[in-house]
């Protein structure tokens, strides 16, 4: 199954209604979720609004929100920091 948003080929069915009136699909690359009954402009990769398409490069370049902070240094890490009193 092709992801309508990022064109990844390994999207798959993740859930189906009890009465089988629809299925839900998900893309493991861009996390897009869609329902089979949402209309072709949402479920068909060729008809998906280009303004909202995601490329692999766009995904790679995305900024993290919030940023991941540096790990705290523990006493056993072997790293010691000193405050310099003189800088050049």
* Residues making contact with another protein (CB under 8 A): 5, 14-15, 17-19, 21-22, 24, 26, 29-35, 37-38, 41-42, 49, 52, 54, 58-59, 62-72
Which residues on adjacent β-strands are paired with residue 23? 16
Closer CB to another protein, residue 70 or residue 86? Answer: 70
Closest distance of CB 27 from another protein, Å: 9
Closer CB to another protein, residue 50 or residue 80? Answer: 50
83 vs 67: CA distance, rounded Å? 26
Q: Give Cα 30 distance to the centre of its chain.
A: 4
Q: Is the separation of the CB atoms in 25 and 51 below 8 Å?
A: no
């Amino acid at each position: 199954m092709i992801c309508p948003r990022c064109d990844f080929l390994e999207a798959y069915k993740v859930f189906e209604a009890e009465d089988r009136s629809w299925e839900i699909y998900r893309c493991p690359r861009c996390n897009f979720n869609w329902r089979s009954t949402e209309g072709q402009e949402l479920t068909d990769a060729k008809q998906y609004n280009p303004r909202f398409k995601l490329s692999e490069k766009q995904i790679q370049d995305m900024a993290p929100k919030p940023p991941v902070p540096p790990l705290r240094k523990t006493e056993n890490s072997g790293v010691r920091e000193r405050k310099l009193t003189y800088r050049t």
